[in-house]
Amino acid sequence: MNSANNIGEKERVIVYIDGFNMYFGILEAGFLNCKWLNISMLVSNLLQTNQELIEIKYFTSRVSNNPDKQKRQTTYIEALESVGIKIFYGHYQSDKTECRQCGNIWPTYHEKMTDVNIATQIIIDAYQNRYDMAMLISGDSDLVPPIKAIHEHFKHKRVFVAFPPKRHNASVALVAKGSMMIGRKKLVDSLFEEEVTKKDGYILKKPKEWL
């Protein structure tokens, strides 16, 4: 039985964030000043008063092709960890792309395993009865099968999708039990301060490239 069905009890929520999907959605939307996003604050601004946050899980991969990007990403991940967010890593894979016309070859990079990691966690947490609602922040259609599986096998649980900017996906919205778009105001209202102090006292500073 879903504990949230009991009178007076709140709906337990675990949040699953596709980090790259959110990041590139923000870039595509032109919200460049929103990169320094406090995911914990964003989630608080998305939840309803009848809901209780259990945990936030953030899924990403370590950038490996650019030292400056690596440094900025590390700073941001440490800022997320400072507010209690759990990080799950996939792989940042290098491939090669060849131009069919000129024959030139250049390296390309792809983030791998995030969808699998999210699917694994969302199903394990359902099996362990850790949430009543899973809030998925992603527009990746590869997550349609696990969403459908949750609704089929755990009748009293639901997956709600909050789409990052420019990442709305009709196939995902169709299988979700509720969805919304995250607008610019929600992002602007959910930014870290310029400096974030870690538990050990170390001060993280917003990367100067992030406007």
| Angstrom distance (rounded) from CA 193 to CA 38 | 9
pTM of the model: 0.88
Residue 179: strand, helix, or coil:
strand
pLDDT in tens, 77-128: 999 999 999 999 986 555 554 556 665 654 444 566 899 999 999 999 999 9
10-210 has CATH 3.90.1170.50 classification: no
Looking at residue 151, its pLDDT comes to 98
| Angstrom distance (rounded) from CA 198 to CA 49 | 29
Q: Which residues contact 52 (CB under 8 A, 6 or more apart)?
A: 10, 11, 12, 13
> Would you say 149 and 123 are in contact if contact means Cβ atoms under 8 Å apart?
yes
pLDDT of 176 over the 70 cut:
yes
Q: Which residues contact 28 (CB under 8 A, 6 or more apart)?
A: 165, 166
> Would you say 182 and 162 are in contact if contact means Cβ atoms under 8 Å apart?
yes
Q: In which residue are the tokens 């969805």 written?
A: 179
Closest CA to 87 of 132, 118, 133, 130: 118
pLDDT of 1 over the 50 cut:
no
For residues 181-197, give the mean pLDDT. Answer: 97
What token pair was written down for 44?
């608080």
